[in-house]
Amino acid sequence: MKAAPKGLRVVSRTVNRPAGKPSKIAFFLTGFLRGTMSNKFVKQTPIPPEIQELAAEHGNAPEALLEILTELQDRPGGLSREVLTDTARALGIPPHKAYGIATFYSMLSLEERKHVLRVCDGPVCWMHGAGEARRALEQVAGPEWHVERTSCLGLCDRAPAVLVDEAQAGPVTSANAAEVLSGHYGEANTYAQPRPGEVRVMLAATGKVKPDSIESALEHGAYEGLKAALQKKPEEVIAEVEESGLQGRGGAGFPTGRKWRFVAAEARTPKYVICNADESEPLLFKDRVLIDSNPHQLLEGLIIAGYACGASEGYIYIRGEYARQAHLLERAIRQAEEKGFLGENILGSGFSFHVHLHRGAGAYICGEETALIESLEGKRGEPRLRPPYPPQYGFRGQPTAVNNVETLSAVPHILKNGAAWWKSLSDYEVPGTKLYIVLGHVKNPGLFEAPFGLTLRQVIEEFGGGMREGSTFHFALTGGAAGTIVDESLLDVPLDYASARKGISLGAGAFLIYDQSVSPVALLRELLHFFAAESCGKCTPCRVGTWRAHEILTRMADGHQQKGDLEELRALSENLRLASFCGLGQAVAIPIDSALSHFAAEFEAAA
C-alpha cells in the first residue's frame, strides 16, 4: 500500500457499528481523499457539468460555496459525498471545506430531503406551545416531509412558528397543523396601524408603501435622503450622522458616524459596507418588518453609507429563513438600478455603487459581525479575534462598515431632515426613535416605534395594553435572548444603551413578559438550550459550558436537582463570561447572572 501524501495524517479509531457498514466520518473521508490526492494515487472522474455550470454562474469563487451548496441541496441526490467533493474541485478548494460548510449551517443537511418543516422552539414559541405544534405536525405530515426543530425563525409574533420549506407560517397549533400542510400559512401582522403614543419615522410609511413597487416608495419620499447626501461631501455626510447621535440598533449602541469615519479614514481600497440582516436572536423580528414594509428605505440607507465611507460595493447578508424578505430586496435592488439610484454614476454624481444580496443558511453566530464576514467569504461562520476590527480589516481583509437593518433605515431620514430634526423627536438624552418589541403575557403583543427612555412599566402598560386577564407580572426577559431577566424592582428604570449598568438591558429593544404561570428556572433552561444548540463550537467555554449549564437547569426544572448544581451553574457562568472567545459566548452569562440575582429563592428551592 502506498503512503498517503505528505502532510496528510489518517487517524483510525474503533467504533461499534453493524459489520460491513462504514461510519459517516469514514464515508466522507474516503470521498475527500479522492478529491485531495493527486492522480498518482486516485484517478479523478470529470466534474459533472451541472456543478461546473453552477460554479461558473458564481464566477468559480470560493466565496459562493454556501450559496452553491444551498442550491445543490434541492437537487436530486442532495449534498452527497460526491456532490461535496465535486463542488470543492470546481471551486479549487479542499473538499473538507465543503464538508465543513455543509455540517455547520442548520439549513444544510447531508441527508437528501424532499420537503422540510422547521418548527421553532425558541423561548417565545416554547411558551406558546411549540412542543404540541411539532407533535401535531409529525402526526399529519406524510413521508415526503422531514420535521425538525430550529432555534428561531424571526417570527416571534406568529408563535408557534414554522418554516414550511421556504414559506413562513404561524401560529401553528394542533388544531390547524393539517391546514398548514395544505398551504394555509396564516397572516403576518403588517403593523400599519400605530399604537397610541408612537412616534413613527422608520415605520411612518408602513401600510402605505407597496413593498414591491419603487414607484410607490418614491411617492412617499424614497431616495430623497440619498439626493440630499449626494449634494454634500462624504465627510459632511459623516458629520451629519455624528451630529445626530445615531447609535447602532443591533444592541451594542456604537455611534454610527464614528464607525463610518473609521472606515473613511483608511487609505486602503476597496472598501465595503455590509447590512447585517441576520436577525436570528429570539424575540427579534423588527428588521423583518422593516424589509417587509419598505425595502427601499433600507437600500437607500446602505447606499448613503457606501457614499460616506468611500465604498463602491455593499452587501446585504440576510438570514436564510427570510426567503420572502430576500425576494423583496432582490426586486428592490433591480428597481433601484433601473431608476439610476444604484449602479454607475448614480444620479449623475460620479459616485458608483453596487449592492449584492447574500443569503445565510441558519446560524445564530452570524449575527456577530466578524462571523458574518467569515460566512460572506464562503467559510464557516466562526468569529474572528479582535482587534483588528472590521473598519480596519473586514471583508476580504479590507476596511468594512457593518450596520444593522434598523440603523441603516434611520439614515435616509436624518440626511433628508437634518440632525437637529432627529434630535427634536425626543426629550430624552438619547436622540431619535427606536423600534421596540413586546411579547408574552400582555394584551397587545407586537412592534412599535418610540423615543428612548421608556420604562419597562410603560412598555407593558402603555404599549402592550397591560397584563392579560388573570395575569400578574412575574418577570421579564429584556433586550433579547442574551439580555437580563428582571423582577418588578426594575420596572421604572429608563431604558437606553447604558441602562444595563443599572441591571436592565435595552439591547435590540425586545421584551418578553411572563406572568405567574412561568418559572424563571424553566425560561433559563430554554435560553441555555438555544445557546447550546447555536454555539459555533469554536471555543470550549461556550461549546461545552452551554450544554453543561442546560443539563443542570433541566434537572432543576424537572425537580431532579443534585447537590452542588447551583454552585456549578454560577461557576459556568463566570467561565462563559471570562473565557469565551467572542461576545456572544460571553453574553450567555447575562441572563444566568441576572436570573440568579433576582430569583435566588426559586433557584435555591429547585437546587
What pLDDT does residue 43 have? 59
What cell was used for 531?
445557546
| Contact call for residues 309 and 264 (beta carbons, < 8 A) | yes
- Spatial distance between the Cα atoms of 508 and 47, rounded to a whole number of angstroms: 46
Which SS3 state, helix, strand or coil, does residue 301 take?
A: helix
Q: Pick out the chain residues at pLDDT < 70.
A: 1-43, 607
Joined together, the cell numbers standing for residue 269 give 481600497
With beta carbons less than 8 A apart as the criterion, state whether 367 and 508 touch.
no
* The 3-state secondary structure of 549-599, one letter per residue: HHHHHHHHHHCCCCCCHHHHHHHHHHHHHHHCCCHHHHHCHHHHHHHHHHC
Q: Distance between alpha carbon 398 and the CA centroid of its chain, in Å?
A: 23
Predicted confidence (pLDDT) per residue in 560-589, tens digit: 889 999 999 999 999 999 999 999 999 999
- The beta strands (E) that lie in 27-178 are given as 115-120, 145-150, 162-164, 167-169
| C-alpha–C-alpha distance, residues 37 and 136, integer Å | 48
* Terminal Cα distance for the chain, rounded: 59
Specify the pLDDT at position 170.
97
Neighbours of 225 (CB within 10 A): 22
Q: Could you give all domains of the chain from N- to C-terminal order, each with its CATH number?
A: 24-104 (no CATH), 115-181 (3.40.30.10), 214-424 (3.40.50.11540), 433-515 (3.10.20.600), 520-606 (1.20.1440.230)
Q: What is the pTM of this model?
A: 0.92
Reduce the DSSP state of residue 101 to 3 states and report it: helix
Burial 230-239 (b: 16+ CB within 10 A, else e): beeebeebbb
DSSP H helices in 505-564 = 520-534, 540-558
State residue 123's pLDDT score.
96
Distance (Å, whole) CA 301 – CA 181: 38
pLDDT at 546: 97
440 backbone φψ class: left, alpha, beta (φ>0; ψ -120 to 50): left
